[in-house]
Amino acid sequence: MILRLDRAHAENASNPTRSRELRRYARRGGMGFLVLSLLAGGVPAFAGSPETHGHRNAGDRDHGTRSERVAPEQGVAAPNVRFEIHYDYFEQGSTDTFDADGPSTLSIDSHDGHAARAALTGVFPIWGPAGVRAQLRGGYGHRQRSLDGLARGNNEITASGATLELFVRDPKRGALTIGGDWDRLAQDGPTEAQEFGGHGTAQIFFPDLGIGPVDWKLHFTFAHREVDGVAGTADVDADRYLILGQAGWYASDDVQVVMGVQWERNEEEFSSEEDLEGIFEARWFLPIPVVPIELRAGGSVGVSEYKRPPFRADKRPVYGATVGLVFRFGAGETLIETQRQYD
């Protein structure tokens, strides 16, 4: 072999034209080999990058779970929009109390109410784990809700509002959200009210520890209501406080059961209400092509304490039920992926 190479080298050296051609072919072959080497090294590196391979979400389980398709550090997997419609039913027991210092009594009959509401929500990434969420909503229904602090009886109420939120989220750990709210409530006649408020939410995403993943949530809201169109000089504005704690257990990748406790207090100049309720909701995700749909149904039960000086406080039962549909334009393959990376 060595003799052949030496002989070929000697022949090439004696033939200058052939030597130049061989050197030119060698240069071309070397360049091609370099290109092939770079491609061979780059393809595996690209194939193993986190942006192109799915990362298993904390909620993924080994038994047939569909893996995630985005990197866990992204707060929003992709811009998305959802449209939801709901029907709500509400019932409140009667109030029957008296003035401890006099013969006066206060009686308010039990009543029920219902409402239809709709909301359009868009979620968009900002950078990395940060995102923004915007919502427009409206509704119409009958409910005994005092807008002026004086009127009683079921009122036809038209509601509209908007919310803007900023959040940071890690789909494997949890999310923090802050936002502002504006709502307008109007009934027959000149009376209407506007509410301006802010809220904060903390979420923790628990992985599957053997019984299924769980989303823990703590939410706080404060809102101030300003009333217009009230005759007289009385100040009938109100403040509203709400604290909600809940846990959402994933019975499967597409079914979630939510249970929690909600406390709400409304303070007006002449009266106040303080409600404590247990809440329940079931969510079922249907991964229909093009427009996935989510079915929701739930209810609440609790007690409401009504206070109106000089009468003694009186407690009355409260019940509620809701059903709804959520149409999603942009969603994950499963409910857990959708709620932790898209909502």
Q: Tens of pLDDT along 20-30? A: 443 444 444 44
Higher pLDDT: 226 or 283? It is 283
Q: Residue 196 — very low, low, confident or very high, per pLDDT cuts 50/70/90? A: very high
Q: Are residues 36 and 179 located together in one domain of the fold?
A: no
Mean pLDDT of 149-164: 78
The residue type at 215: D
Q: Are residues 247 and 114 located together in one domain of the fold?
A: yes
Q: Residue 53 — very low, low, confident or very high, per pLDDT cuts 50/70/90? A: very low
Residue 274 reports pLDDT greater than 70: yes
Closest CA to 59 of 206, 176, 202, 204: 206
Looking at residue 190, its pLDDT comes to 74
Which run of H or E residues covers position 332? none
Structural domain includes residue 69: no
- Domain of 157, CATH number, reads 2.40.160.40
Q: What share of the chain is helix, strand, coil (3-state, %, to 5)?
A: 15, 55, 30
Q: Are residues 40 and 86 located together in one domain of the fold?
A: no
Looking at residue 204, its pLDDT comes to 97
Looking at residue 322, its pLDDT comes to 97
The reported pTM is 0.75
Region of poorest pLDDT, from 11-25, 72-86, 146-160, 204-218: 11-25
Total domain count for the chain?
2
In tens, the pLDDT along 123-144 reads: 999 999 999 999 999 999 987 6
Structural domain includes residue 64: no
Structural domain includes residue 267: yes
Looking at residue 319, its pLDDT comes to 94
* CB-neighbour burial class of residue 254 (10 A; exposed 0-12, middle 13-18, buried 19+): buried
Structural domain includes residue 148: yes
Structural domain includes residue 114: yes
- Compute the CA torsion angle 182, 186, 190, 191 (nearest 10 deg): -70
Q: Are residues 27 and 155 located together in one domain of the fold?
A: no
Q: Are residues 167 and 23 located together in one domain of the fold?
A: no
In tens, the pLDDT along 223-251 reads: 999 887 666 555 568 899 999 999 999 99
Residue 71 reports pLDDT greater than 60: no
In tens, the pLDDT along 198-219 reads: 999 999 999 888 889 999 999 9
The residue type at 86: H
Closest CA to 343 of 296, 304, 301: 296
Q: Are residues 234 and 314 located together in one domain of the fold?
A: yes
Looking at residue 264, its pLDDT comes to 96
How far apart are the C-alpha atoms of 314 and 304, rounded to whole Å? Answer: 8
Print the domain residue range for 258.
80-341
Higher pLDDT: 36 or 328? It is 328
Q: Are residues 38 and 130 located together in one domain of the fold?
A: no
Q: Are 115 and 321 in contact (CB under 8 A)?
A: no
Q: Are residues 100 and 209 located together in one domain of the fold?
A: yes
Structural domain includes residue 38: yes
The residue type at 242: L
Q: Are residues 185 and 285 located together in one domain of the fold?
A: yes
Q: Are residues 211 and 312 located together in one domain of the fold?
A: yes
Structural domain includes residue 62: no
Q: Are residues 153 and 103 located together in one domain of the fold?
A: yes
Looking at residue 201, its pLDDT comes to 98
Q: Are residues 312 and 232 located together in one domain of the fold?
A: yes
